[in-house]
């Protein structure tokens, strides 16, 4: 248990349009990671809101199977779909489809640095085309009753920090919240997220601002909120292999006390629950392949809890096993080894 200096800013309730989540800690959209199985688990474990992987707007609007699966939200209390694209008409149509299928909020991706997305001039490429970015937001806002939000980086590079201007213009055309990852596109995931720089966004808008980037311990959330002045925080990689992490951050912000990490046995049970969810979502063959990286992350998280590195062979066995049964058996063996060495 670690004691906080103060629970501070997140005592203010977060409201996004008419949507009032139980707390202001969001699970970040992560392509290939935050599918429905993961989002359900993180929500059950206390994340205030969870956001889908980015979904290509044109594909969703034209009923592509993969896009539909990525936008799936059945069983979630509040479902947020993140759309990517650069064509206002497709964005508007995809937003209608998402809301028609149950999304309570539609988020627009203006931060993805991946070449594939930027090459199609979506994601963070929009940070270089603010007029188009604003038209996209406007078209989406006009298309649906549900609140529309925007997730952005600080700018394309350090010479073009546009997040404050984009956020203000987004608010002007009806966006109900902005999330800012405190890096530029040029940084990809290098260096450190600049939480102070997010304060310049907060100063320009009256809609909620969510701070994102490099939050990996519940205790640091206070500093992130203090530096950014933000109304909430979003966690991405810190939740990989730790679906309980957003909930732990929320507990810390509410009480000033970080909950203890789940025991390794409890982590095992959560990993199995997640694994079953993945098999259910994708079917066994694709599910087994998809789950491999998660098993690796769960082992890394358990190793951190145990204070011992996970044995490379044991991890490799869990991550390459060909079937669900052999993968879970290898995973359990790797965890038992960790527990055994931690106790020795």
Ligand X SMILES: Cc1cc2nc3c(=O)[nH]c(=O)nc-3n(C[C@H](O)[C@H](O)[C@H](O)COP(=O)(O)O)c2cc1C
* CA dist., res. 153 & res. 144, Å (int): 25
Residue labelled with tokens 């350090």: 158
Binding track, positions 298-337, relative to ligand X; x by CB under 6 A: ----------------------------------------
User: Considering the rule CB under 6 A, would residue 46 count as an interface residue with ligand X?
Assistant: no
Stretch that binds ligand X, among 1-9, 30-38, 308-316, 322-330 (CB under 6 A): 30-38
User: Considering the rule CB under 6 A, would residue 31 count as an interface residue with ligand X?
Assistant: yes
User: Considering the rule CB under 6 A, would residue 236 count as an interface residue with ligand X?
Assistant: yes
Token couple for 126: 């929009």
Of 14, 54, 112, 118, which residue is the catalytic one? 112
User: Considering the rule CB under 6 A, would residue 133 count as an interface residue with ligand X?
Assistant: no
Shortest distance, position 339 Cβ to ligand X, whole Å? 28
Stretch that binds ligand X, among 56-64, 126-134, 199-207, 230-238 (CB under 6 A): 230-238
Q: Is 284 annotated as a binding residue?
A: no
Burial 252-290 (b: 16+ CB within 10 A, else e): bbbebebbebbebeebbebbeebbebbbebbeeeebbeb
Q: Is 151 annotated as a binding residue?
A: yes
Q: Are strands 209-212 and 49-56 parallel, antiparallel or unpaired?
A: unpaired
Q: Is 267 annotated as a binding residue?
A: no
> Which CB, 103 or 338, lies closer to ligand X?
103
Is 315 assigned a catalytic role? no
Applying the rule CB under 6 A, the residues between 49 and 88 that interact with ligand X are 53-54, 82
Shortest distance, position 230 Cβ to ligand X, whole Å? 13
Stretch that binds ligand X, among 98-106, 210-218, 284-292, 309-317 (CB under 6 A): 210-218
User: Considering the rule CB under 6 A, would residue 149 count as an interface residue with ligand X?
Assistant: no
Shortest distance, position 322 Cβ to ligand X, whole Å? 24
Tally of CA atoms within 13 A in the half-sphere of 3 that contains its CB: 1
Q: Phi/psi at 135 (nearest 5 deg)?
A: -65, -35
| Cα–Cα–Cα angle for 205, 208, 210, rounded to 5 degrees | 110
- The alpha-helical segments, DSSP class H, found in the chain are 36-44, 57-61, 65-70, 88-100, 115-119, 130-143, 163-172, 195-202, 220-228, 245-255, 264-282, 284-306, 312-320, 324-343
> Which CB, 136 or 338, lies closer to ligand X?
136
Q: Is 236 annotated as a binding residue?
A: yes
- Angstrom CA distances, 235 to 57, 97, 118, stand at 24, 27, 23
Size, binding site for ligand X by CB under 6 A:
22
Applying the rule CB under 6 A, the residues between 239 and 298 that interact with ligand X are none
* CA dist., res. 207 & res. 225, Å (int): 16
Closest residue by beta carbon to ligand X? 236
Q: Which residues are registered as beta bridge partners of 27? A: 50, 235
* CA dist., res. 305 & res. 290, Å (int): 24
> Which CB, 29 or 241, lies closer to ligand X?
29
Interface residue with ligand X among 176, 181, 242, 268 (CB under 6 A) is 181
Binding-site annotation: residue ranges: 82, 151, 181, 236-237
Residues that bind ligand X (CB under 6 A): 28-33, 53-54, 82, 109, 111-112, 151, 181, 212-215, 235-238
């Amino acid at each position: 248990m670690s004691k906080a200096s103060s629970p501070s800013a997140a005592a203010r309730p977060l409201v996004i349009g008419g949507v009032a989540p139980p707390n202001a800690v969001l699970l970040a959209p992560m392509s290939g990671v935050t599918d429905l199985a993961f989002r359900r688990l993180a929500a059950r474990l206390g994340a205030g809101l969870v956001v889908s992987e980015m979904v290509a707007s044109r594909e969703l609007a034209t009923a592509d199977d993969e896009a539909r699966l990525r936008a799936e939200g059945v069983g979630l209390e509040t479902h947020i779909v993140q759309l990517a694209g650069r064509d206002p008409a497709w964005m508007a149509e995809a937003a209608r489809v998402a809301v028609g299928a149950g999304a309570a909020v539609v988020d627009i991706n203006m931060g993805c640095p991946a070449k594939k997305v930027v090459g199609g001039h979506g994601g963070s490429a929009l940070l270089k085309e603010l007029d188009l970015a604003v038209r996209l937001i406007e078209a989406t806002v006009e298309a649906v009753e549900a609140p529309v939000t925007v997730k952005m980086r600080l700018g394309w590079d350090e010479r073009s920090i546009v997040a404050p201007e984009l956020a203000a213009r987004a608010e002007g055309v009806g966006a109900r919240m902005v999330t800012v990852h405190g890096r530029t596109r040029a940084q990809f995931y290098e260096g450190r997220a600049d939480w102070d720089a997010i304060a310049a966004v907060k100063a320009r808008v009256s809609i909620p601002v969510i701070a994102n980037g490099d939050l990996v311990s519940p205790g640091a959330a206070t500093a992130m909120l203090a530096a950014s002045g933000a109304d909430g925080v979003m966690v991405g990689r810190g939740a990989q292999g730790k679906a309980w992490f957003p909930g732990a951050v929320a507990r810390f912000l509410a009480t000033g006390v970080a909950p203890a990490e789940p025991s390794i046995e409890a982590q095992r049970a959560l990993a199995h629950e997640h694994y079953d969810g993945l098999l259910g979502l994708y079917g066994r063959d694709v599910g087994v392949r998809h789950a491999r990286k998660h098993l690796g992350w769960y082992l890394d998280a358990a190793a951190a809890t145990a204070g011992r590195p996970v044995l490379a062979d044991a991890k490799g066995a869990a991550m390459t096993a060909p079937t669900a049964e052999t993968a879970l058996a290898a995973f359990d063996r790797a965890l038992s080894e960790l527990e055994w060495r931690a106790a020795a």
